[in-house]
Amino acid sequence: GQRTIVGISGSLRRDSFNRHVLAAATELTEPHVTLNTYDLSALPLFNGDLEDGGDPASVAEFKRTILESDGLFIVTPEYHHGMPGVMKNAIDWAGSDANHNVLKDMPAAMIGASPTMFGTAFSQQQLKQSLIAAGASVMQQPSVFIARANKKIDENGVITHEDTKAMIASSLRAFSEWIDHKKK
Ligand code: FNR
């Protein structure tokens, strides 16, 4: 049947490679899959005090969006060999039990782009561990590390490297199979 997945970028900057990859991904899904993007900019820094009496509106909206989706698709950069604080903060909110852990049993998959030769491998490793800790069903294969992203994405944010587009499409295809497998 028709599937809806939510996509988030671990980089907030306008010309982010990862934001461009997420935008491209919305066009590379199979016809029965809709990928909606969700911007993390409005989330406050995690603070348990803010959960008293219900989540802040931006957090509640973010968590509801995940809950109403069939899966969470993450595109993230790597900072200092780990995931950016923006991404960890979003995971901490979404996976917090105080109101409702919306990552529990949620199918999740990730890809990432970086100008270096490792292409976010360390960041994704760390992100997988955090998602697993929160109870998400994390897809392990295929790994998609978009290394040397500056040579594959042009100044208009267009992915000019066909193999990269094919890798993104294969990740999305595997993810929809992963969701089908988890939901049956
Ligand atoms: C980086 N960058 C980076 N790249 C990488 O592959 N491994 C790393 O450990 C780091 N560390 C790092 C730390 C900090 C604070 C910054 C700002 C950057 C480079 C990073 O991949 C590059 O800036 C990307 O362009 C960031 O992704 P977006 O914003 O283009 O999506």
Tell me the best of 21, 80, 122 to mutate to test the pocket of ligand 1, counting ligand atoms within 8 Å of each CB and taking the most. 80
Query: In angstroms, what is the span from residue 12 Cα to ligand 1's centroid?
Result: 12
Q: What is the pLDDT of residues 90-120, one digit of tens each?
A: 999 999 999 999 999 999 999 999 999 999 9
What backbone torsions phi and psi does residue 24 show, to the nearest 5 degrees? -65, -40
What backbone torsions phi and psi does residue 166 show, to the nearest 5 degrees? -65, -35
With 0-12 / 13-18 / 19 or more C-beta atoms within 10 angstroms meaning exposed / middle / buried, residue 111 is buried
Task: Tell me the whole-structure pTM to 2 decimals.
Answer: 0.98
State yes or no: pLDDT of 23 exceeds 90. yes
Mean predicted lDDT score pLDDT of the chain: 97
- Using pLDDT thresholds of 50, 70 and 90, give the confidence band for residue 184: low
Domains of the chain, CATH where assigned: 3-183 (3.40.50.360)
Query: Whose CA is closest to atom 21 on ligand 1?
Result: 114
